[in-house]
Amino acid sequence: MIQIKDLHKSYHMGSNSLHVLKGINFNVKEGELVSIMGSSGSGKSTLLNILGMLDEADRGSYVLDGVPIKNLNEKIAAKYRNEFLGFIFQSFNLINYKTAVDNVALPMFYKGINRKERVEKARHYLEKVGLADWSHHLPSELSGGQKQRVAIARALASEPKVLLADEPTGALDTKTSYEVMDLIQGINDEGKTILVVTHEEDIAHMTKRIVNLKDGVIIDDSPVEQVRAKQHV
C-alpha cells in the first residue's frame, strides 16, 4: 500500500537548515495497523505529512497504492489525497458552528455527492463510532473523546484506503485515549490500513507494529509482540 525509500527532508530558515528526515525506508501492507513512535521533534509529523501528500520530500521515493507520488500538480495531488487518504488530527479540526452530522457530511459535498446521500452516509458513520444520538450536537456540546469520534467518522466517510492519524489521543485523558484506540483497532479489524503517530508508548502498544523514529532515523521497526518480548527480558 505504501512504499517509501530513502526519504530525506530538510527545512530551511534563512541561512540555517534542519535535516529532519535522514533516509527513511519502510513499507506498509494493506490492512496493517502501524504506529510511528518517537519523542517530540523526531520528525513524525514531517513524515506523516509527506505520506499524506501535504508536503513533499527532498529526496527518495514514495509509492502509494501503486502510484509514484512525485511532482504531481496540485489538482492531481488533491484528487489522490481525497481518494486514498483520511486524516485524523490531535486537535480534531471540526467546524465549530456545524453539527456532528454536518461536519461528517462536509467533505462529501466537495466530492459532489448529493445532500441525501451525504446525510445518510454521515449518519451511518456516526452510528459506527457510537454517536448516533449526538448527530445534531455542536462540537462545543461534545467531550474531547466524542469530538475525536466525529473526526474519525468524517475521515471514514470518504472511504479512504489509508487512515493517517497524527497524535489522535494527544488531547485526551488516558481512559478516553484507550477508548479512541479501541475504536481505531475495530476499524483496522475490518481491514482498513491505519498509521498512527504518537509519542506515547502505551498508545503505540495498541497498534500491531511499532516504527520507532529518533532524530529522523528509524531505529527499530518490529511487530508489537516482539517489542513486548524484548522489554520483558
Minimum Å gap between C-beta 22 and ligand ADP is 11
Minimum Å gap between C-beta 18 and ligand ADP is 6
Minimum Å gap between C-beta 54 and Mg ion is 13
Which span sits near ligand ADP by CB under 6 A: 13-21, 118-126, 155-163, 201-209? 13-21
> Judged by CB, which is closer to Mg ion: 165, or 183?
165
Q: Would you count residue 38 as binding ligand ADP (CB under 6 A)? A: yes
224 class by beta-carbon count within 10 Å (0-12 exposed, 13-18 middle, 19+ buried): middle
> Judged by CB, which is closer to ligand ADP: 41, or 68?
41
Q: Would you count residue 99 as binding Mg ion (CB under 5 A)? A: no
Size of the site for ligand ADP (CB under 6 A): 12
Size of the site for Mg ion (CB under 5 A): 2
Residues 15, 16, 40, 73: which binds ligand ADP (CB under 6 A)? Answer: 40
Q: Would you count residue 45 as binding ligand ADP (CB under 6 A)? A: yes
Residues 2, 24, 34, 45: which binds Mg ion (CB under 5 A)? Answer: 45
46 is in the binding site of which of ligand ADP, Mg ion, none (Cβ under 5 to 8 A by kind)? ligand ADP
Q: Would you count residue 11 as binding ligand ADP (CB under 6 A)? A: yes
* Position closest to Mg ion via CB: 45
Minimum Å gap between C-beta 74 and ligand ADP is 18
Q: Would you count residue 158 as binding Mg ion (CB under 5 A)? A: no
DSSP string, the chain: -EEEEEEEEEEEETTEEEEEEEEEEEEE-TT-EEEEE--TTSSHHHHHHHHTTSS--SEEEEEETTEE-SS--HHHHHHHHHHHEEEEETT----TTS-HHHHHHHHHHHTT--HHHHHHHHHHHHHHTT-GGGTT--GGGS-HHHHHHHHHHHHHHT--SEEEEESTTTTS-HHHHHHHHHHHHHHHHTT-EEEEEES-HHHHTTSSEEEEEETTEEEEEEEHHHHHHHHT-
Backbone phi, psi, residue 26, to 5°: -165, 160
Residues 46, 99, 158, 193: which binds ligand ADP (CB under 6 A)? Answer: 46
| Site for ligand ADP, residues 116 to 155, rule: CB under 6 A | none
Grid coordinates standing for 80?
A: 489522490
Distances (CA, A) of 213 to 21, 52, 88, 180, 218: 10, 18, 20, 23, 5
Binding site for ligand ADP (CB under 6 A): 11, 13, 18, 20, 38, 40-46
